[in-house]
Amino acid sequence: MEFINEEYIYSLLGDGSLNNPQVQKEAIKKAEEAKGLSLKESAALLNIKDPEILDELFHTAKRIKEKIYGNRLVLFAPLYITNQCVNNCLYCAFRKDNKELVRITLSIEDIIEETKFLVHQGHKRILLVAGEHPKQSALSYIGEAIKAVYSIDYNGNNIRRINVNAAPLSLDEFKTLKNFGIGTYQCFQETYHYDTYIRMHPSGPKKDYAWRLYAMDRALQAGIDDVGIGSLFGLTDYRFETLAMLSHAFNLDERFGVGPHTISVPRIEPALNAPAAENPPYALSDSDFKKLIAVIRLAVPYTGIILSTRERAELRRELFNVGISQISAGSRTSPGAYKEREKHKDEHSMEQFQLGDHRTLDEVVKDCCDLGYMPSFCTACYRSERTGDRFMALAKTGNIGKICVPNALATFKEYLNDFASDDTVVKGKEFLESEILRQNESTQKKVRSMIDKVDNGERDVYF
């Protein structure tokens, strides 16, 4: 655990010189180059209190995100396949000692039905989520689930990228997981503060801090190209958590030449019979949440920052402006909930946590257009092997947009043709045309050719 240096992190948090407005402004100015920041510079930005400097921080985060990723917001949905779990995390409704939770593990037939629902909504990428259980979330079951999801096709529409959020695996198990054809392997440390970690995980295999911390190392060593890290904010001081998570990102980049493909920033939300969720030890304000997201964008400009539907719609709109590049939409957090929702059944007795944004995918897509953000369903990099260090080389140099923009526009046209409501079609076509006209002549020609193919019935058009 040598790269999570708690003593050094606390020394930065206690360093009064980092409260200096001039030091903070210099860090922001350096960040404008989109080359990242040091841990010390990041600590200075986390200490910002002056409203004018905060405003400068937020505007810079927006510019850096757009320099790398443009105005695109990648859309996905989680697919929970089991809430069985042998861990006892105090912030999670899935914890072993929660006797009030209705336990369920989806059959392959159930997974197929859930996938059909998501495909018919217009989704192209999902995050497969499973609790940790030696039988109910065994690697063989996850493999069968992935195969089932990929098998669904609806007039050329299908799930084209499956990211996986599951318990840490051994090196050999990660090699097996890679062979299932996954995209990103995602695993959150939850909290990097060791004493808090032990307190929040009183029993179960998750109690092993180091096994979880080094999961990304094993995944990358096993050949999985893309990994995603995250913290659950509210368990300890958000400044410590942010700096520790950045330490993790820096270490991965230094050791493997590939930093985290994504960083997730969930906050604790109420969860059934989960004591830490009902009374978060370090509840995080909206303003501090906004600040830490902006700091992450400046510190690791290449990463995809994920915002979930834990947050209410009004706040999500605001956070899009400070560096968010991927969002979930139309989410449910219990196994079988997409199908059950159609039957108007209560799912709260099975869900992991409560949601803040209950809008449908179509409502979120329309809102993105209204706000000036391009809804992207693109998965071209994954299938074109622009992953790992190949993706990072393009992202770190700001060249990924040259590929992503045409592909995003083509997949958005797929959505408008096949799944959008009448109101969203009107708004979306207008927005699509304005986005095409923003491109140079060569890109416009390329995009219009791709869109013609989509209008003529082709699907999954990309380059």
Q: What is the mean pLDDT of residues 197-208?
A: 97
Report the CATH number that the domain containing residue 173 is assigned in CATH: 3.20.20.70
How many folded domains does the chain comprise? Answer: 2
My answer on whether 351 and 393 are in the same domain is no
Asked whether the predicted pLDDT for residue 125 surpasses 50, the reply is yes
Domain that holds residue 235: 67-359
The mean pLDDT of 438-458, rounded to a whole number, is 96
pTM, 2 dp: 0.96
In a domain, 108, yes or no: yes
Same domain? For 436 and 293 the reply is no
Measured distance CA(148)–CA(112) in Å, rounded: 6
Whether residue 353 is found in the same domain as residue 397 = no
More confident residue, 229 or 403: 229
**Which has the closest alpha carbon to 181: 162, 195, 202?**
162
Residue with tokens 């001081």: 237
Task: Give the pLDDT band of residue 344 (cuts 50, 70, 90).
Answer: very low
Same domain, 346 and 432: no
| Tokens (6 digits) for 144 | 């069968």
Of 337, 359, 381, which residue sits at a domain end?
Answer: 359
Evaluated on CA atoms 368, 369, 372, 378, the torsion sign reads positive
Is 352 in the same domain as 399?
no
Region 382-406: what's the mean pLDDT?
Answer: 90
The answer to whether 145 touches 406, Cβ cutoff 8 Å, is: no
pLDDT tens track for 314-328: 999 999 999 999 999
Q: Is the pLDDT of residue 346 over 70?
A: no
Rounded average pLDDT over 49-78: 97
136-168 pLDDT, tens digit per residue, is: 889 999 999 999 999 999 999 999 999 999 999
What mean pLDDT is predicted for residues 352-363? Answer: 91
User: What is the three-class DSSP state of 161?
Assistant: strand
